[in-house]
Every structure is written in C-alpha cells, then in structure tokens.
Amino acid sequence: MKGKTCKSIVSLFSIFVLLLSAVVPVSAVTSNTSVSSLVTDVTEIYSFMSDTQKGTVETARSAVAGLTDTEISTILKENGITQAKIEAYPSLIGLARDIAELGYVDGANLQAKIDAIRNNSDYTSTFDTLFSSELTVDDMIAFLVALKEKLITEIGNNIFQILLGETDFDSVVASAATDLSTTTYSEFDGKLQTGLGIGVVDLIAIKDGIEAKLDANGDIAKNAKAALLAGALESLTKDSNTGGGSYVPAPTPSPEPSADGAAEVELSDDAVSTETDTDGTVKTTVKVDTASILNLINTATDLKTVSITVPDDDSNAAVVSVPSSAFSALKDKNEDAVVTINSKTGSYSLGVKEINVEALAASLGASSTDDVEISIEITQSEDTTNAVASNGLAAASEVVDFKITAKAGTDESEVNNFNSYVARSIPLTTTDVNPSQYTAVRINADGTLTAVPTKIVDGKAVFSSRTNSKYAVVKNNVTFTDVEAGDWAAPEITKLGNKLIINGKEDGRFAPAEGTNRIQMTILLVKALGLTASGEYDGSFTDVEGDEWFIEPLVAAVEAGIIKGRVDGSFDPYAKVNRSQSAAMLARALEFTGYDVAKLDKSKSINQFDDVNSIGDWSKADVELMLEAGIFSGRNNGTIFDPAGTTSRAQTAVVLNGYLKFVDFIN
C-alpha cells in the first residue's frame, strides 16, 4: 500500500523532471511511454478530486501562467542563470513558466501541453545550442526513473511525517535530488552545469521560487499540492479496496463567494503597509497579487463583486494596487464584475471593463500589459476653494479625493473618465439625516460645484459619477414661495431643489404650472446625471451659434446621446416640450445610464390609452418604456396619454424624480 501511495504522489512531481526530456527532440520510445504513464497517473488522481480541489489546483496553474517575464527572469537569476544567458536565450523564461505550470495541469490537458512544449521550435533550438549531443533523451529518462525510484523510497519512509506536517514534500524532493546529483548522477549534473550554468538542485530551486512568487504566504501552491495529495490518497483507498478510509482534504479556498456573487480578498500582513507623508497624511497601502484574485475566480461559479477592505483605522488615505492582469482575469470571468475598495475614508466600486489594459499599456509605452499596475486611491482632502460655503451650502462630510492611476515602471497616467457610472461612497458627519436634503457634489478646480446622483444608505452618501475628482456631501434646504407642502408635486420639487438639480425663478418662485422648454429639459437632465461636456460645440444645430449661455450643458447632453435636433437641423431651444418629446428624452437617458430590465412592468401597454393612435410612431416605443418603468402615467385616470400636451415644470420634476429612482440613483 505504501508503494502505491508514493508512486501516486511522485507522479505529481515527475512532470517537472520529465519536461526536461520533452523539450529535447524525441528519439526514444521510453520518453513517450513515460509521458503516457504519467498522463494516466494524473488522470486517475483528478478522477478522485472534488470540483473545489480541482479549482484550487487550477488557481495555481493560472497564477503561474500569469507571472510576468520580469518576475520569472528575476527568479532565474536568483538561482544561477546569468543575465547574459537569459538575454542570449530569452525562451528560457517561457520554458521555466511552462515547466512550473505543467505541475498543475489536469490529465485531460497534460498530453496536449507537453506536446505543445515539445513542438516549440524556440525551446528545442535553445536546448540544441546549449547541450548539443552531450545531454540525450536517454540521459533524461534514466535520471527521471532514478529520481522516481529514490522518491518512492524516501517518501515511503517519511509519509506519516509529511501527512502530520512534521516535514514537507518539497524538502524530501530536494533531498533526493541533491543525493542523486552528488553520487550516481554527478556526471549528469555536470552536463547541466556546463550547458545552463546550474545543476539539478538549482532546477528544483527555480520551481520552488516560481511557486513562492504566486502569493505572499505560499498558500496558492500549498493548497494545490494538498488537493493533489488528497486525490492521490483517495485513489489509493478506493483502488486498494480497503473498505473505506480517510484522506487529507484540500483546504477550502477562503473566502468562498457568497450566494449573491460577492467575495472578499484576504490580505496577508505583508500586503499592507502604513506610512506618514511629509504633509502629515497617514496612508495605508495594500498590494493585491494576481493569485489572490485568481483564487476567487477559480472557486466561484458566479462572481460579481470582489471586495478589498483596507485596514486603515488610523489613516486618512487608502491606496490599493492591483496588477492589470487581475482586471483582465476578472473581465474574462465576468465582464460586468466590479472591484470594490472599502476604507474608512470612503469606498470605490470600479467595473472591470472600465480598465482598458491594452490601451493603458500602449499609452505608457509598456512592453507587456502584465507590466501595468492599477492604483486606486481614496484620500481625505480639503475644499481649498471654499466652494461649499461659497455656494451657500452646509458640509455634511469630509472632502474626499478619488483617483485611479495606471503605472508601468516610472511612467504613470491618471484614469479620470469612464464609459459608465462608477459608484463611490463617503461617510456622513451627521446622524440626523433626511435623504431628500443631501447630495454629493464634485468640487471643480474653478470653485464651482457639480451635483451627482446620490443615495443615502446606512450613514453614507452613495453616489454615481463618470469622472474622478474631489467630492463632498452637502446639506441643502430649498423653499419656493409658490410651492406649499400639500401641493401634489411639492415633495419632488423640493427634493430636486435640495439636490441642486432644479432652480427657482429670480423672485423665489418655482412656477410649477409653467411649461418646460427644450433647453430647460436638457439642463435638468444634465444636472440630474452630473454631466459635463468633454468636447467643444461642433455646430451641429442650425440655430445654435456656440456662444449661448446654455452651450456647455447642450454639448454634454448631445455627447450623451440624450438630445437630438429637429428634422430641419435646428435645436429650437425655447420651444415647449410636449409629453411625447419628454418621453423620448428620458428614454435616451435610460439608454445612457442603463437600467434593470427586470424592473419593467410588462403588463402595461400604450394600448390602454384611448388616444393610442395619436401617439406618433416615432415615440411609441419610448412612451411604452416610460409606462413600463412607472415614470409616466396617463391623464384622466390613465385613460389617455395626451402626447401633444405640454409638460409643466411640476410634471417635469415628478417624471425626473421617477426616472432617477428607477435607475437607483436617488432614494
């Protein structure tokens, strides 16, 4: 029984040594026979492993594959291969990566992986040049067989110490390899030394170095080996027909993703550091390795959110560095996945598709996307322009600066604009909160403020914006002389006034019954969504010169696809907006922000209106969407839509509030 156990365990390591023969042109049947035997052994082991155990091993394989050329080159140099040798034979880097990766390839893919390496012309050319005829396939196979036999003996003698944790498998392997390289196979070791400048023991050290690089604590490789060992022992107990028995299970990767697809990255002590800047800012920095993310990816069936919590109780700045390869891996798993950074100062939820790794690498002149690191910063700051007080508002939070930086070597570039809304949060400094009175604002460099969509949740302002900047939360208490508390639209008018979306007249009135014109509707939508123009006016409207007071919000709305001109090419800014036109503008706004289709009430239809035939074909789909979303309702107890009817300022406030609630932008 002991012999079979050892052979099963030894086969896990044999891949590493066998690969040395695989890269030399095959001329001996023994090589193919050994590969076939190895594939059979590994396949058997995997057949006794659980899906979780297989996922743990796949995590290790993915982590090895994700190591950069720079990281592997460093490991090679640390273990005796010179920089000159690496520069002369750059394929050694890829070969080392493939060698280490093979140890974690399942039986179904092992043969194909070995064949791919055998057929790699760069690898075979390098070996031909390095070893010529001094090192043959038969030499490799003979050493492999001898090492396997020695390991069977050594592991058999130490099996219980290994299982009890008194020694480890790698130590036994290293000891066996050292013994062979200094006795029976000293000549073989010498040939390796001549060709590569390193010996058998150094090859083992390179493998160990690569595994150690996977994560800070070595858990990735350790858990994978435990999973493989569990499969080997389970194979033993089943095949030996002992009537049962126990085996060593692989540690369950922790944490497991929750039912809602959320998972937390576990941070080692080495991943977290705290320092004080010259200005007194106490900064906590977290470095997340790719392996930590891959571990979550490979153990999750439905991964939606990856959270990283910064332990920063005594700091006022949090910096989280994540390799770009982690973003790429998450995007491959789920392109809608979100990385959330939680800190005392605030939180940041970044969609992985907002990080264009290829474009960032190109802009930074990086030779590989693997060289790019993404840094997410949440820093307590100051309102240096006194913008909040100057605008007559009361501060309800600290000022927080949100920043994302892409780095490659000494070069870096800020990521300031996004293709979709990115959620952030800031803790409030007050506990007595009426959500309708609070909003987050972007503090612009010129001292102006731009309100952004904001919800109040559990003592925090959760807001959505498409840009990075300094943000703060403000409290407002707006009143209008012609809006009474009992008026039908008073709650919506007051709420949107407090959130800096709607303004009253200069005399303090709101004029709720007055019709809304096209430019007013445009400005309201731009304010509601916190938009700013990124470009200049392009002269697209025949009746807009470009120097009008409303040009900036108009350009922002056009860029967002919310506003379109009339058939004749004009914009007609002061024409009143009818109900069909309002529905069309809001439908385009829904398309811009995105929305949850499941929230639509498909039981509603424009066919419920007696005047359905009066709704123009161009707007029927938009009107029905507004109806299903609950943003619009009919008039006369829902019997008519009145498509040509004017949209009053009060009605505009109500439908705009309904739209913002439907997309979950406000309470």
For 75, other C-beta atoms within 10 Å of its C-beta total 24
Domain match, 218 and 268 both: no
Query: Looking at the DSSP assignment, which residues form a beta bridge with residue 318?
Result: 284, 378
Domain match, 183 and 306 both: no
Domain match, 572 and 653 both: yes
Residue 174 resides in a domain: yes
- Please give the Cα distance from 218 to 41 (Å, whole number): 26
- Please give the Cα distance from 585 to 622 (Å, whole number): 9
Q: What is the pTM of this model?
A: 0.65
Q: SS3 letters for 143-161?
A: HHHHHHHHHHHHHHHHHHH
- Please give the Cα distance from 229 to 222 (Å, whole number): 10
Residue type, 490: A
Which one of 451, 475, 499 terminates a domain?
475
Domain match, 653 and 605 both: yes
Which one of 442, 475, 508 terminates a domain?
475
Write the pLDDT tens digit of every residue in 142-151.
Answer: 565 566 556 6
Domain match, 523 and 448 both: no
Q: How many domains are contained in the chain?
A: 3
Q: Is 82 helix (H, G, I), strand (E, B) or coil?
A: coil
Report pLDDT for 626.
96
Task: Identify the sign of the CA torsion 356, 357, 359, 363.
Answer: positive
Report pLDDT for 81.
86
Q: For residues 655 and 585, is the Cβ–Cβ distance under 8 A? A: no
Q: What is the largest CA-CA distance in the chain?
A: 100
Write the pLDDT tens digit of every residue in 268-301.
Answer: 888 899 998 888 889 999 999 887 888 788 777 7
Domain match, 321 and 190 both: no
C-alpha distances out from residue 397 to 219, 328, 424, 433, 477, Å: 40, 35, 14, 12, 16
- Using alpha carbons only, how large is the chain's radius of gyration in Å? 33
List, for the chain, all residue ranges whose pLDDT scores fall below the cut of 50: 1-31, 137-138, 141, 240-254
For 401, other C-beta atoms within 10 Å of its C-beta total 18
For 142, other C-beta atoms within 10 Å of its C-beta total 16
Residue 667 resides in a domain: no
Q: What is the DSSP string of 442-503?
A: EE-TTS-EEEE-EEEETTEEEEEEEE-SEEEEEE-----TT--TTSTTHHHHHHHHHTTS--
259: CB partners within 8 A, 6+ apart: none
Report pLDDT for 1.
43
Q: Residue 273 belongs to what H/E stretch?
A: strand 272-276
Residue 457 φ/ψ, nearest 5 degrees: -135, 120
Report pLDDT for 509.
95
Task: Identify the sign of the CA torsion 104, 105, 110, 113.
Answer: negative
Domain match, 315 and 411 both: yes
Domain match, 177 and 122 both: yes
Domain match, 386 and 497 both: no
Domain match, 213 and 100 both: yes
Residue 45 resides in a domain: yes
Closest CA to 288 of 319, 316, 258, 315: 319
* Residue whose token pair is 């910063």: 377
Report pLDDT for 544.
96
User: How distant is the alpha carbon of residue 287 from its chain centre?
Assistant: 14
Q: Residue 275 belongs to what H/E stretch?
A: strand 272-276
- Please give the Cα distance from 203 to 18 (Å, whole number): 12
CATH number at residue 384: 2.60.220
Pairing of strands 272-276, 305-309: unpaired
Q: Residue 122 belongs to what H/E stretch?
A: helix 121-131
Per residue in 376-390, is it b (16+ CB within 10 Å) or e — as a string? Answer: bbbbbbebebebbee
Report pLDDT for 19.
44
Residue 251 resides in a domain: no
Domain match, 470 and 501 both: no
For 42, other C-beta atoms within 10 Å of its C-beta total 27
C-alpha distances out from residue 547 to 203, 346, 507, 555, 616, Å: 71, 39, 26, 12, 34
List the domain range (segments joined by +) for residue 389. 262-475
Domain match, 420 and 501 both: no
Q: For residues 623 and 596, is the Cβ–Cβ distance under 8 A? A: no
Residue 246 resides in a domain: no
Which one of 475, 501, 525 terminates a domain?
475
Residue 481 resides in a domain: no
Q: Is 129 helix (H, G, I), strand (E, B) or coil?
A: helix
